[in-house]
Amino acid sequence: MTDENTLPYDRTMLTKAIQYSSDIHKIELRNEDFLKQFDIEIMKNQKVSFIDYDTNKIFTNDGSMIAYDKVLVATGGTPVRPPIDGVSGNNIFTWRNVNDL
């Protein structure tokens, strides 16, 4: 499940992707064919709103419910701007996802 509208990609390659190509597919971790082959469903534009560990159910921001056997919670991170003079200028950018490119 991802709150983005893309397949999972190598976030560390964002700067290289925009520098050398505008094709986000080049930094995807796995392509559609791989996901289909292993019956992996990526739920795009979704956020987890609640996990009920007693009943093994995940609830999403759109009201959907997903039952699970095991769950891995990987929340990611948030870019932090260092406390440096000028870091909040209009020509300083923080890249977190493909929409920031």
Do 23 and 57 belong to one domain? no
Do 68 and 30 belong to one domain? no
Q: Quick check: 33 pLDDT over 70?
A: yes
Q: Is residue 39 domain-resident?
A: yes
pLDDT in tens, 44-101: 999 999 999 999 999 999 999 999 999 988 887 777 888 888 888 888 877 778 777 6
pLDDT for 53: 96
Contact 30, 7 (CB under 8 A): yes
Do 56 and 32 belong to one domain? no
Q: What 8-state DSSP symbol labels residue 36?
A: H
Largest CA distance in the chain: 50
pLDDT for 68: 94
Which carries the bigger pLDDT value, residue 12 or residue 45? 45
Structural domains in the chain (count): 2
Distance CA 70, CA 52 (A): 12
Q: Is residue 84 domain-resident?
A: no
pLDDT for 60: 95
SS3 for 92?
coil
pLDDT for 20: 64
Q: Is residue 29 domain-resident?
A: yes
- Burial code of 23-36, b = ≥16 C-beta within 10 A, e = fewer? ebeebbeeeeeebe
- Helix residue ranges per DSSP H, the chain: 14-20, 32-37
Q: Is residue 3 domain-resident?
A: yes
Q: Is residue 71 domain-resident?
A: yes
Residue 28: give the domain boundaries: 1-44
